[in-house]
A and B are shown apart, each in its own frame.
Chain A
Amino acid sequence: MSLSPRQLALLLITPGLALVAALFLYPLCFSLVSAFSGPEGGFSVQAFGKAFELYSGDILFTIVIVVTSCALTAVAAVAIAGTLTLSENPWVVGTLRALYRWPLFIPFVVTAQCMRTFLAKNGLMNNTFVSLGLMEPLQAVSYLDWRGIIITFVWKQTPFVTLLLAGALASLDRATLEAGRNLGASRLRVLIELALPQAMPTLLVALVLTFVTMLSVLSVPMMVAGSQPTMLTVDMAFRINAYGDYATANALGVITYLISAGAAILYLRHGMAKESAP
């Protein structure tokens, strides 16, 4: 063979790269061109005007849902991972460890179907509360709206963030944490002031990935909540399936790229602030 190792390496990696180029980079360019083209071709931001006119409420709705879900996921993940790392009760740790991972590989469609029945007005959640005497039957309301979407997202994504965070916490220097405890700090304080700052990069990576995942999911808003207001993924599918309106759908697509870019920039700025700190 007359190939140099470098040429061989490029030759081996090219087919994989070609698939990503054809099915990701090319469609991405396609969506940008389509979003910025007018009805007669040429550059135009007309599609964005229409997108904002029709869907500004849904853009706000999407941002609020995704930010709230990420915040609640972070709180839940910190609580679970913190308990796993710092609890001195082996019984609590064992139960929690056995339970928390279950939703990890459950598909979003399946989660959505579970929640459609669980959170309904006469679903298992309300029925259990009524049976336990925590609630009067007449107080039962359906949670199948924005609350349902948030609950579904938090339920599905918490194990993923917890898994990464618990891994990062487990690799910390135990001696520092023990020292904090010996000096009289409560476990909550050790978690928030000593452990969490060191595991912050991992937590943020997990949250950025979660943020993008939530912006990409179509099944949950379609199945869990009603039609209005809804998330941008549903609006895009509707523009395509009902009107074949690619320009507006792609403008909405570009808006979702910008929202996720916002999350990525926040993450990168945190990283840089960290590096420049003394």
Chain B
Amino acid sequence: MSRVAPLLRAPLAGILLAAFAFALIGPLANLALWSVAERWYTPYKLPVTYGTRYWEQVFRPTGDAMSSLGTSAWIAVLTVIVALALSVPAGYALARLKLPMRSLFMIVFLLPQAFPSVAIYINVARIFYKLGINGTVLGVVLVHAAHGLVYSVWIAAAAFAAVDKDLELAARNIGASPLRTFFTVTLPLAAPGVIASGIFVFLESLDEFTGTFFVGVPQVTTLPLLLYNAAMGGNYQVASITALILLVPSVLFMLFIERFLRADVLAKVGA
């Protein structure tokens, strides 16, 4: 690069950037095109007829997509409740209390993400089948919560660690009980981080495919499974529209993550 004449440098950088933009945006553009293509076949480079017929089909109140969207959202909300109910106490203990073997516990929460998961899920499905909770919302929620726990516990621990200890001491000095101090001082101050971890878990649950594929079938059809079924059934329009619905929260989160996770909390994640 250094030997390239300075005159050639700018055009070269421009071409490389354009190629990079094409590689990044091309696949998404193709998806968007398919969602509004009513007819598209070879040798046509662009859809033959455009229309919103498939959007109407997907958003019909009685359609599969709306019920899948409902199922997905319901499962994600329940997963957040379960994950936060477990991770707020665990995060507080990891950040504030004298916990023996603290780093070992931190790693235990990471394990479900650090192992190839398919082999785990097939056995979870087998265990759930014996318990009679395979193919139920409860089973899927438990799987999603275990998977998302590393985010919620680690971020909650970081959020509690970032709370100024002096403020808690001040509350205790003027006579507040430990429990009251927690609910009126510590938790409100850690709330942005805890909410961020909840959003993380919500998205993880919304996007989760492999666990639901083994544990949820055939009764629980979330959006990713609907997308998979539509794609494998050759219905590219419904698959693309479902994919676009799933893209919305992901892209919003990518754009706003820095607002939710303050730098002082982010620096303490995993520590």
Query: What residues make up the interface of A, taking CB atoms closer than 8 Å to B?
Result: 5-6, 8-10, 12-13, 15-17, 19-20, 22-28, 30-31, 34, 89, 92, 95-96, 99-118, 121-125, 127-128, 130-131, 137, 155, 186-188, 209, 212, 215-219, 222-223, 232-233, 236-237, 240, 246, 249-250, 252-254, 256-257, 259-260
Query: What bracket does the count of chain B residues touching chain A fall in?
Result: 35 or more
Please judge, given known A-B contacts A105-B251, A118-B26, whether A216 and B90 are in contact too, CB under 8 Å: no
Q: Does B213 contact A20, Cβ atoms closer than 8 Å?
A: no
B21 / chain A contacts, CB cutoff of 8 Å: 95, 99
A31 CA to B232 CA, complexed, in Å: 29
Contact of B149 with A by CB under 8 A: yes
Of all A-B residue pairs in the complex, the 6 with the closest CB atoms, nearest first, are A253-B119, A107-B207, A9-B97, A114-B27, A12-B89, A27-B123
A128 CA to B26 CA, complexed, in Å: 9
Please judge, given known A-B contacts A116-B231, A117-B30, A128-B22, whether A256 and B240 are in contact too, CB under 8 Å: no
Please judge, given known A-B contacts A124-B26, A219-B210, whether A249 and B127 are in contact too, CB under 8 Å: no
With A99-B20, A155-B27, A253-B119 already in contact, 19 other A-B pairs whose C-beta atoms are closer than 8 Å: A5-B97, A13-B89, A17-B105, A20-B146, A23-B112, A24-B112, A24-B120, A107-B250, A109-B224, A116-B231, A118-B26, A122-B42, A127-B45, A215-B116, A232-B118, A233-B210, A253-B116, A256-B116, A260-B115
B86 / chain A contacts, CB cutoff of 8 Å: 15-16, 19
Q: Does A31 contact B123, Cβ atoms closer than 8 Å?
A: yes
A28 / chain B contacts, CB cutoff of 8 Å: 115, 120, 123
Contact of B31 with A by CB under 8 A: yes
Please judge, given known A-B contacts A8-B97, A26-B127, A27-B124, whether A19 and B119 are in contact too, CB under 8 Å: no
Residues 35 to 88 of chain B near chain A (Cβ within 8 Å):
42-43, 45-46, 85-87
- Which of B97, B122, B224, B251 is most buried by chain A, counting CB atoms within 10 A of its CB? B122
**Quick one: which of B90, B206, B243, B253 contacts A114, CB cutoff 8 A?**
B243
B22 / chain A contacts, CB cutoff of 8 Å: 128
Would you give the 0/1 interface string for B192-220, flagging 1 where the beta carbon is closer than 8 Å to chain A? 00000000000100110110011000000
Please judge, given known A-B contacts A131-B45, A218-B118, whether A16 and B1 are in contact too, CB under 8 Å: no
* Interface SS, B side: helix
Q: What's the least CB distance linking B228 to chain A, in Å? A: 6
Please judge, given known A-B contacts A19-B86, A237-B213, whether A253 and B118 are in contact too, CB under 8 Å: yes
Q: Does A27 contact B231, Cβ atoms closer than 8 Å?
A: no
**Quick one: which of B85, B105, B246 contacts A109, CB cutoff 8 A?**
B246
A257 CA to B209 CA, complexed, in Å: 20
Q: Does A6 contact B100, Cβ atoms closer than 8 Å?
A: yes
Contact of B155 with A by CB under 8 A: no
Q: Does A34 contact B98, Cβ atoms closer than 8 Å?
A: no
Q: Which chain A residue lies CB-closest to B177? A: A1
Would you give the 0/1 interface string for B1-45, flagging 1 where the beta carbon is closer than 8 Å to chain A? 110000000000100010011111111111101100000001101
Q: Does A13 contact B99, Cβ atoms closer than 8 Å?
A: yes
A-B interface pairs (CB < 8 A), number? 247
**Quick one: which of B23, B112, B118 contacts A237, CB cutoff 8 A?**
B118
Q: Does A260 contact B27, Cβ atoms closer than 8 Å?
A: no
A128 CA to B114 CA, complexed, in Å: 39
* Interface SS, A side: helix
A104 / chain B contacts, CB cutoff of 8 Å: 254
A113 / chain B contacts, CB cutoff of 8 Å: 31, 227, 231, 239-240, 243
Q: Does A256 contact B119, Cβ atoms closer than 8 Å?
A: yes
**Quick one: which of A10, A12, A22, A23 contacts B92, CB cutoff 8 A?**
A12
**Quick one: which of A16, A212, A259 contacts B149, CB cutoff 8 A?**
A16
A254 CA to B94 CA, complexed, in Å: 32
**Quick one: which of A12, A252, A256, A260 contacts B90, CB cutoff 8 A?**
A12
A6 CA to B2 CA, complexed, in Å: 60
A20 CA to B120 CA, complexed, in Å: 12
A5 CA to B125 CA, complexed, in Å: 38
Q: Does A9 contact B118, Cβ atoms closer than 8 Å?
A: no
Q: What's the least CB distance linking A160 to chain B, in Å? A: 12
Contact of B137 with A by CB under 8 A: no
B254 / chain A contacts, CB cutoff of 8 Å: 101-102, 104-105
List 25 interface pairs A-B (beta carbons < 8 Å), by A numbering: A8-B97, A23-B146, A24-B146, A27-B121, A27-B123, A27-B127, A30-B126, A102-B28, A105-B250, A106-B250, A107-B246, A107-B250, A109-B209, A113-B243, A118-B30, A124-B33, A127-B46, A137-B43, A187-B1, A187-B2, A218-B118, A222-B232, A256-B118, A260-B115, A260-B116
A252 CA to B116 CA, complexed, in Å: 11
Contact of B191 with A by CB under 8 A: no
